[in-house]
């Protein structure tokens, strides 16, 4: 039986590594500096929201208005804090069984790509020693349209030379699942089934994904 050329496309944040906590810590530091209380529940509302919109929300919560130039320097400060947190990352930051999944796909000579909005994707993959698994990296430096626009996944498919219907996307956000579905790809949600119910399949994490299931995807 001939296996056609599949492309396995991974989102980064929340799928391969959990950088969300570093965003949370950086926003929390910033809110503390502004004397605005900031909770994990509020942080949930910032998931998948741009840096500009996130800061606007925090200022609203604190009932604070600031000048344009302060706004930009605060945004810049948030990014520097975030980068200082991710600079400390190592292989222990890889989420459970991600490496096992990548090893299996690599052993089966599957095409592996990254499709992430993060501009720091390459440096994060280098820090956690996973960069060599990825033939293709499409990140915030190559795309202009944010998910749920499918641009990032369509670019990744093109670069691994697989048609959309032969691509499998691993995502932890609703916007990412919608982007994969719009692109006509198989969408696999990593996280909470109640939130990610639009995905073709949902797993709590990669420990629930068997090699048999991966083979099934390769033969679809």
Domains contained in the chain, CATH given: 7-17+91-218 (3.40.50.1000), 20-86 (1.10.150.240)
* pLDDT tens-digit series, residues 118-148: 889 999 999 999 999 999 999 989 999 989 9
* pLDDT value for 1: 41
Q: Kindly report the three-state secondary structure assignment for every residue of 96-122.
A: CCHHHHHHHHHHCCCEEEEECCCCCHH
pLDDT class for 179, splitting at 50, 70, 90?
very high
DSSP-derived 3-state class of residue 163: coil
The set of catalytic residues is: 11, 13
Between the two ends of the chain, the Cα-to-Cα distance in Å is 11
DSSP annotation of 153 reads: H
What is the per-residue pLDDT across 163-174, written as a single tens digit (0 to 9) for each? Answer: 999 999 999 999
Given a contact cutoff of 8 angstroms between Cβ atoms, the answer to whether 101 and 124 are in contact is no
The pair of structure tokens assigned to 164 is: 């959309």
Residue of 150, 159, 214, 140 whose CA lies nearest to 177: 150
pTM of the model: 0.87
pLDDT at 156: 98
Q: How confident is the model at residue 85 (pLDDT cuts 50, 70, 90)?
A: very high
The confidence score (pLDDT) of residue 3 equals 54
- Paired tokens of 169: 């996307």
């Amino acid at each position: 039986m001939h296996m056609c050329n599949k492309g396995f496309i991974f989102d980064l944040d929340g799928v391969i590594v959990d950088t969300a906590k570093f965003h949370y810590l950086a926003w929390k530091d910033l809110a503390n500096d502004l004397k605005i209380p900031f909770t994990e529940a509020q942080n949930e509302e910032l998931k998948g929201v741009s840096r500009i919109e996130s800061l606007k929300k925090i200022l609203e919560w604190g009932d604070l208005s600031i000048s344009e130039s302060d706004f930009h320097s605060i945004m810049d400060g948030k990014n520097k804090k975030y980068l200082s947190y991710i600079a400390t990352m190592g292989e222990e930051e890889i989420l459970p069984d991600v490496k096992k999944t990548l090893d299996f796909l690599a052993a089966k000579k599957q095409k592996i790509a990254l499709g992430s909005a993060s501009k720091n994707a390459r440096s994060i993959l280098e820090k956690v020693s996973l960069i060599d698994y990825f033939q293709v990296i499409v990140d915030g430096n190559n795309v202009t349209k944010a998910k749920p626009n499918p641009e990032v996944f369509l670019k990744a498919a093109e670069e691994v030379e697989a048609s959309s219907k032969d691509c499998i996307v691993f995502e932890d956000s609703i916007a990412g699942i919608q982007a994969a579905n719009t692109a006509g790809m198989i969408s696999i949600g990593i996280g909470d089934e109640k939130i990610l119910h639009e995905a073709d399949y949902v797993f709590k994490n990669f420990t629930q994904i068997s090699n048999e299931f991966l083979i099934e995807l390769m033969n679809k």
